[in-house]
Structures are given as structure tokens and as C-alpha cells.
Structure 1
Amino acid sequence: MIDAEVQQPKMKLNIASFLKYLFTCLLLFSLQITEAQKTKVIKDGVLRRTYNYADTLQLDFYSIPKDTISLKPTVILVHGGGFTAGQRNGGDEAGLSRYLAKQGFNVASIDYRLSRKGKSFGCDCATSIKMDTYIEAVADLSKAINYLTKSTSIFKVDSSKIFLIGSSAGAETVLNFQFMRYDYRFKNLPYPDANIIGAVSLSGAVLDENYINYRNKIPLLFFHGVKDSIVPYNTNSHRSCSTTDTGYIVLNGPKAIAERLRDLNGDFRIFYNENGGHEWASLGYEFPEQISQFLEEVLNGVANMKDFENVTSPIESRE
């Protein structure tokens, strides 16, 4: 009887030890899964690692190897392609990502659902489907930011200093993410607990500029062609659809956004091309110095600007 009483606590201790061992094994296994999902590539002194952040969606994370800074300002890059195509690791996206990483930023170039792949996103695509597509892309961007900011030991992301950059459909995603979250169709998405301090739009627009207010205004940098017939420079229909088209939906480009920001004493800089079209969704990548300068001005609190500047394509100027 005495022996049984002595051995009972020892049995509890063994069970507790086993549970602790099991927990440790599970933790190490989960870390191995996280490690296994990344592919390492070093180019120009910049390390690129690839991760699955949600389902089959991936992101490429660019950073400087052996950087001793604990947390860094981070850029989230969202590619274009009309929600039918495009890739996070295209030449433009990878080039800008490496450039900004060398300037001291973390950069994450992300996938998002291409819901219209193999389908139309033009005037014959129903407005309700277009709206669902916009919402899905914003949800994916939200998941990517959540993934990055909840794993600070891996990514060293300063969640109080997040920048967004997008091209075409990616720029629409960025602007809708920042300004449309109080719209009833967007408000229940998994928004991250992170502070967006600035954004860059290459040929992008927002669904409704009236949702921009004193609380969510941030400094914005735009590159846009004035004659863009796909995503308007001012306020017009997407892809210039007529009011009788099933895919008619109104978008508000940089000029309309700038007017709204001016009313709110917000900061913006618009690089526009008088005769340019939607090709500026790609040509905007040719201005990495201006993009980097904008990010630095915002970080340093000196982004006091309300500028419109006519620019020429650097590709044309080299011909």
C-alpha cells in the first residue's frame, strides 16, 4: 500500500513528460514544414525565399542575407494581369523586388486567386462577378499580410510600417484593400492588424473614392496613362464599357483619388503620361528610383506633396 502511494506521483510525472515530449515533436515538425515550403535563391546579393501563405497561394520573400536589423519596413507587391494572368515572379516584379530589398526593405511579391483565368473580365463579364473577383483578391492580400506579420521571427516584418505596391489588377487590389473595407461587401474580410503607411499604384483605380477619409488616407504614388481605356485615369467605366453592358462598373483613377485627397489634405504624387494607355501598368516598373524615394519620404515623415508631373517612358527615351 505504501509502495503504491509512492509510485502514483511518479506515473503522473511520466505522463507529463511524455506530453511535453509530444508537444516538442509536433512543434519541431511544424517548423520543418515551414522550412520545407521555401526555396532559396540568391541573386545580386538578395535572398529570395518562397512560401505557401494560404492553400496553393505563394509569396516570394526578398531580403538581405544575415541582416542584423530585428524588424524592417516591408513592401507587399501585387502583380497585374486582369485577374486572368500574371505572376508574382515575372521579370518586372522580381526586378523591383530585388532593387527595393537592396535599399533596405523586406519585399513580399504575392500570388492571389486568378478567378477569371481562361474567362473574360471584360464588358461581357457580369458586374456581380467582377465585384466578387475584387473581393477575393483583397481577401488574399489580407491573408498574405496576416501570414507575414504573425511570423516576425522568420520574416522580421515591422507590422507598423507596411507599404503596398500594385500593378493594374494588383493596383486595384491594393487601393480597394486600403479604402473599401467599410463597404458592406468588403467589411467582413480577414483584415490584418497592420499599419499601411503608403501605397504605389501602377495603372490602378478604386471602386469608390468616397470611402477615402481622414482615418484611412495615406500618401499615394501613381503612374498612369491619361488615355488608358482599361483602367481610367479619372472617373469612368472599367474597360470603357457602356451602361448597357452586363459588365458595366465605374472605377475611380488617380485624378479622382487625388481630388478626394486634396479635400482631406492628403498627400499624393501622380506621374502621368498625356498620350499613354494601359501599358503604364508595366512602364511604371521602369522608375524604381522614384518609387524608392517615395517610400523613403514616407518613412522619414516628409511626404508632403500634391504633385502632378508629366513623364515620358524611359524605354521611349532610350530609342
Structure 2
Amino acid sequence: MKKILLFFAALAGFATSAQDFKTLTYFVNDSTKLELDLFVPKEKSKEKLPLLIHVHGGGFSGGQRKDGHHICGYASQHGYVAATITYTLYMKDKNFSCGGQVPEKVKAFQIAANQLWQATLYLIKEAGKYNIDTNKIFISGSSAGAETVLHAAYWDRNLMALYPQKLPADFKYAGVISGSGAVMDLNLITKQNLLPMLFFHGSVDPVVPYDNAAHHYCPTNASGWLMFFGGYSIFKHVAELQGTARMVTYCGGGHEYSDEMFAKDQAGVVSFMDRVLKKEHFYEHTVVTTGKKGDKDDKYGFCD
């Protein structure tokens, strides 16, 4: 494992106020209308461009697609078409913590993942109009959005489908970027379906476990008890599968770091995608000291 120690520095966020985007409807049925904001590079390209689709966080009960404007605006200025999507906030007015119900939690993941698949399908159909290379589609998400992209990448799309319109059977995403995300079952990720991944996660996140633990660290008798395998757990799994991944650990950091790279280190996100498109193979761990109290409680030895 390549381990790099960096000192935390506050970076200025990328301003997207001057960035143009189009709001498009990507899905409509009798009960639902979903939109996305599409950012397209201003400079024309003779070659087809890679695409990034971003899913905002908010516990499946809050957040909005404009939360993804910082990363999408930056990516579009660096050669990517980028979209940030609206999806159904299924857990609004419901308990998403220990007092909730596991089937409801799973349903929230399933709806969001299906709607991400629909956004992907829409942009594949519109690829000619927006000069998109459909073999180079990345997905990214923060918190609930990260849980969405991870499950969208690795679930059986036929088994978990909610809508009749489906992605091509042989379609695979080019890579996944997860900000404080997790999967419910590590066995979903196999040698056969493994994708390049970038993870960033606070090491003492009390909401979505950094390693493997129950969601919200719920007691085993809780109605909402659900095992989660967080960024570091998946990162270790990738090593066993000899895959490509980069992990950024915010030592002592909590769930407030779920949007950190999307808001403050967009260059790191784009660099990851660029390297994947160059077919680089890497397995790297970057450790960032935050100076927070949790640093001294680090059980992994990263902050020693």
C-alpha cells in the first residue's frame, strides 16, 4: 500500500456562478418527473468526451442537485460533460437511523440507484447531441449519493430493476467516486465486475462507518440495524481483488467530510478520472491530518 501523509489545508471552493448549464428532464412517468443539470465544456472537441454523473447527499431525505454544481462545473472546465441529478427523496419524513425499518432503507437505495440508471440511459440516448463517449461514464456521490453510486455500480440491474427501461446488458461504468459512502454487502464486488474507485472518508464517521459496522452504529436489537461496509473496508477488498483504487482518509474526521473533495479538491477527482482513462493501474492511500480530536483515537495507526 502506498501511503502518503499530507497536512490538511483549507482550499478555496470552486465558484460555479459563471458556469452555464442546461436543466433537462431525464425521466417522467405518471407520478414522477426528474431533472438534471448538464454542464458541457465550452470548448468544442473533435473527440467524444467522458461523462461524470453526480448524486447529491442528504440521507435520502434532503439535499438538491445544485449541491453537485461545484464538481460538475469544475469537471466541465477540464474536458468532461457533467450532470448532477435530482432523485426521489424516499426517506423524507421517515426514520433513516436506528429507529427506522431496514426494508425502507433498502428501498431508498433501490429507488435512487434505479433513477441513476435512468439518468445514465437518458444521457446515453442523447450522447450524439452532447458529444459523450458512452464507454467513459463515471458516477460520483456524497453520503447517500455515494451509497447510491456504489449500489448502482454493483447491484444486479435486472434483479433490482424498478422500471422497464434498462441499460444495455453489457454496460459498465468507467469508475466510481464515493464520498463517505458504503455498500450493504461486500460480496457484491467481485473480480469480474470490479471498477476503478476513488474513496474519501473521515476515519471516525459516526453515521456511515469508515470501515465495517452498523449504519449509525446502531445496536443489534435496533429495528434499523443494517451492516455497512464503508470506504476503507471496500478499499481493502479491492486490494484482495488486485484492482485499481485510491483512498483518501481524513484522520479524526466525521461525516462532515462527505463532500470534501467535491467541494474543495475537485482537481483530485478529475485527476483520478484522467488516470483511469489513461488505463493506469494504481492502489494508493492518502492520509490527511485534520487536527481534530478524533486523530488521537485513531485505531488504524494512520495518524501516528
Category of TM-score, reference length = shorter chain = 0.7 to 0.9
Matching residue of 1:272: 249
Aligned-pair CA distance for 1:183: 9.0
Q: What SS does the aligned partner of 1:89 have?
A: helix
Aligned-pair CA distance for 1:70: 5.2
Given candidates 145, 158, 173, the residue that maps to 2:120 is 145
For residues 213 and 187 of structure 1, do their structure 2 counterparts lie closer, same or farther at Cα, with a shift above 3 Å needed?
A: farther
Whether the 8 Å CA contact 2:139–2:176 is kept in 1: the answer is yes
2:27 maps to a residue whose letter is: A
- For residues 66 and 297 of structure 1, the distance between their equivalents in structure 2, rounded to whole angstroms, comes to 22
Deviations 1:77-108 (CA, angstroms, capped at 9, x unpaired) = 00000000001113xx2111111100000001
Q: What SS does the aligned partner of 1:311 have?
A: strand
- Following TM superposition, the consecutive aligned residue runs of length 4 or more in structure 1 with deviations greater than 4 angstroms are 187-191
Aligned-pair CA distance for 1:219: 1.1
Deviations 1:10-47 (CA, angstroms, capped at 9, x unpaired) = xxxxxxxxxxxxxxxxxxxxxxxxxxxxxxxx954x43
Q: Does 1:50 align with 2:27?
A: no
- For residues 157 and 217 of structure 2, the distance between their equivalents in structure 1, rounded to whole angstroms, comes to 27
Identity of aligned residues (%): 32
Aligned-pair CA distance for 1:119: 2.3
Aligned-pair CA distance for 1:67: 1.8
Matching residue of 2:145: 170
Aligned-pair CA distance for 1:65: 3.3
Given candidates 273, 284, 301, the residue that maps to 2:261 is 284
- For residues 275 and 162 of structure 1, the distance between their equivalents in structure 2, rounded to whole angstroms, comes to 33
Q: Does 1:129 align with 2:129?
A: no
Matching residue of 2:84: 109
For residues 87 and 313 of structure 1, do their structure 2 counterparts lie closer, same or farther at Cα, with a shift above 3 Å needed?
A: farther
Whether the 8 Å CA contact 1:205–1:253 is kept in 2: the answer is yes
Whether the 8 Å CA contact 2:202–2:251 is kept in 1: the answer is yes
- For residues 111 and 166 of structure 1, the distance between their equivalents in structure 2, rounded to whole angstroms, comes to 12
Aligned-pair CA distance for 1:284: 2.6
Matching residue of 2:189: 212
* Greater displacement, 284-293 / 97-106: 284-293
- Within-5 A mapping of 1:110-259: 110-181=85-156, 184=159, 186=160, 190-193=165-168, 194-259=171-236
Q: What TM-score, normalized to structure 2?
A: 0.83
Whether the 8 Å CA contact 2:114–2:161 is kept in 1: the answer is no
Q: What TM-score, normalized to structure 1?
A: 0.79
Please identify the structure whose Cα radius of gyration is greater: 1
Structure 1: tracts of 5 or more residues without a match: 1-41, 315-319
Higher relative contact order, chain-length normalized (CA < 8 Å, sep 6+): 2
Structure that is richer in helix per residue: 1
Aligned-pair CA distance for 1:157: 1.9
Q: What SS does the aligned partner of 1:279 have?
A: helix
- For residues 313 and 104 of structure 1, the distance between their equivalents in structure 2, rounded to whole angstroms, comes to 31
- For residues 188 and 217 of structure 1, the distance between their equivalents in structure 2, rounded to whole angstroms, comes to 24
Matching residue of 1:13: none
Matching residue of 1:308: 285
- For residues 218 and 188 of structure 2, the distance between their equivalents in structure 1, rounded to whole angstroms, comes to 23
Q: What SS does the aligned partner of 1:196 have?
A: coil
Matching residue of 1:5: none
Matching residue of 1:18: none
Whether the 8 Å CA contact 2:261–2:269 is kept in 1: the answer is no
Q: What SS does the aligned partner of 1:60 have?
A: strand
| Count of aligned positions | 268
Whether the 8 Å CA contact 1:210–1:260 is kept in 2: the answer is no
Structure 2: tracts of 5 or more residues without a match: 1-15, 292-304
- For residues 104 and 172 of structure 1, the distance between their equivalents in structure 2, rounded to whole angstroms, comes to 26
- For residues 73 and 259 of structure 2, the distance between their equivalents in structure 1, rounded to whole angstroms, comes to 17
- For residues 136 and 48 of structure 1, the distance between their equivalents in structure 2, rounded to whole angstroms, comes to 26
- For residues 230 and 107 of structure 1, the distance between their equivalents in structure 2, rounded to whole angstroms, comes to 28
